[in-house]
Structure 1
């Protein structure tokens, strides 16, 4: 396709994706209160005590401190819900734009990786939602008994979304390693040799990336990723064995020569080389015949 046709195709795909997001955002606007209650549910709320009452670290009051905060928070939540709910449409539009440039084998691997990536992200997001109540109670427990916690709903929603995105994205790390292995960029044996650094790095990442900064959140993020990492190493090793059976030179380095077959062969078993094919002749301008060499005749 010419460049103009590619740009026109991209414009149409983006328009369809934006239309799907707008439609789902409008639908989510009718359920904005339910969505905000769902995202704020992990916070232990104070029942029967007014704002500013001494509650210590047992609970917290959720408030809006600005006049436009209810409106901006509602827009943010509904837009986020619209993007998530319309993901099958805009992901398909993205795939429809990229797929014509892929080979059949590449499309097959893409289907497999997408089918695995979605459950992994959903598992990470669900785990984040499960541990948020415990993490929030740990954070609130630091509050002195003579004080109270007053939280803005906008901050609570940002905290919840950040936790979901961090956990969901972190669960994609083993899949990324498997993709690199299938692409031939890293072997399973090399991945297995990284296990000490990977385990240490995952725990450090869990301590820094989780907004809760408590050991429970770090362990909840790091332990599943370490388990998934070793599963990825096992899959990579199985793939390396399959590749070695199909290609004996697959495990060689770029500067390493393959083994030569020096088995003696009888004279009668040697196949004769085919005769060299003569160059095609072409009629010259004066009626003579000339031969072409490298695409040009000898006169040229």
Structure 2
């Protein structure tokens, strides 16, 4: 029985839409599995993480001289709270793995000699993500105190533990992911999707986007927290633009040298 004829290779290394979807499913599956595996050991650290996350509520009681506490309003809420904390720890702890999957999906067609850039991507992305979560952790207590200060008179502050934790996780992870945006820009530049000059030209939109993002991520009239988050994100944006411009110049110089040597255009 004759074997199936092999499919012709795509000389440009391009992927079809179906191949992109298969690749996306593969990367998401690996990332999700990593988060689950790193979340399981976090069960034994839940009490310590919860004590740190709930500390701002105790600060509310002291700062505003009112009763403030976290309550479990349903039978399964305490268990759900523990699972959410495990998820938060799992996402942060497994960040090197799912960040690499992000890189591998964005730039799957890099030449072998440029695979080393994945190391540089992870070396920048992991500290930035963790740094973003730490920045969010730093300003989170101020946001809790400020938002609860709008309570009327002598009323008590009774917060659902599930809702409070959901707010904390969204805030912390949103800021952490926001700090990754410059690294994604550099990855797209290396994949020849955008140029360094294009990144620089969009600086006004970038500042507007950062200001909008920090305003949404810090749902309070806490201007100081917004500024503390916006300044490093804007600085990282211009740093990403500088890296992209340098990369474009290096690629252009290499292509010019190849053209001079062979008299033909050689793709990077």
Label 1:68 to 1:130 Cα distance change in 2 as closer, same or farther (>3 A): same
Q: Distance in 2 between matches of 1:120 and 1:236?
A: 17
- Structure 1: any 5+ residue segments left out of the alignment? 49-54, 251-257, 259-300
Aligned match of 1:231 in 217, 235, 239?
A: 239
Aligned match of 2:201 in 193, 217, 224?
A: 193
Partner of 1:38: 52
- Deviations 1:14-61, CA, capped at 9 Å, x for gaps: 69984x76665443323332221122223344669xxxxxx9576621
Contact 1:36 1:77 in 2 (8 A): yes
* Greater Cα radius of gyration, structure 1 or 2: 1
Instruction: Please report the TM-score for the alignment, with normalisation by the length of structure 2.
Output: 0.71
Partner of 2:153: 145
Q: Tell me, yes or no, if structure 1 residue 27 matches structure 2 residue 41.
A: yes
Q: Tell me, yes or no, if structure 1 residue 104 matches structure 2 residue 112.
A: yes
Q: Tell me, yes or no, if structure 1 residue 118 matches structure 2 residue 126.
A: yes
Q: Distance in 2 between matches of 1:92 and 1:230?
A: 23
- Deviations 1:257-287, CA, capped at 9 Å, x for gaps: x9xxxxxxxxxxxxxxxxxxxxxxxxxxxxx
CA RMSD of the aligned region, Å? 4.0
Label 1:104 to 1:23 Cα distance change in 2 as closer, same or farther (>3 A): closer
Contact 1:57 1:142 in 2 (8 A): no
- Structure 2: any 5+ residue segments left out of the alignment? 1-5, 8-21, 259-264
Partner of 1:78: 86
**1:66 alignment partner, SS class:** coil
- Deviations 1:128-149, CA, capped at 9 Å, x for gaps: 0000111111112222232221
Label 1:184 to 1:30 Cα distance change in 2 as closer, same or farther (>3 A): closer
Label 1:206 to 1:98 Cα distance change in 2 as closer, same or farther (>3 A): closer
Q: Distance in 1 between matches of 2:152 and 2:244?
A: 51
Label 1:17 to 1:94 Cα distance change in 2 as closer, same or farther (>3 A): farther
Q: Distance in 2 between matches of 1:241 and 1:100?
A: 22
Listed as ranges, the matches of 1:175-254 within 5 Å are: 175-212=183-220, 214-248=222-256
Q: Distance in 1 between matches of 2:206 and 2:30?
A: 42
Label 1:122 to 1:25 Cα distance change in 2 as closer, same or farther (>3 A): closer
Label 1:94 to 1:136 Cα distance change in 2 as closer, same or farther (>3 A): closer
Partner of 1:161: 169
Q: Distance in 1 between matches of 2:163 and 2:101?
A: 33
Q: Distance in 1 between matches of 2:240 and 2:102?
A: 27
Contact 1:16 1:93 in 2 (8 A): yes
Label 1:57 to 1:103 Cα distance change in 2 as closer, same or farther (>3 A): farther
Instruction: Report 1 or 2 for greater relative contact order, CA contacts < 8 Å, sequence distance ≥ 6.
Output: 2
Contact 1:58 1:140 in 2 (8 A): no
Task: Give the drift of 1:246.
Answer: 2.4
Contact 1:32 1:74 in 2 (8 A): yes
Partner of 1:291: none
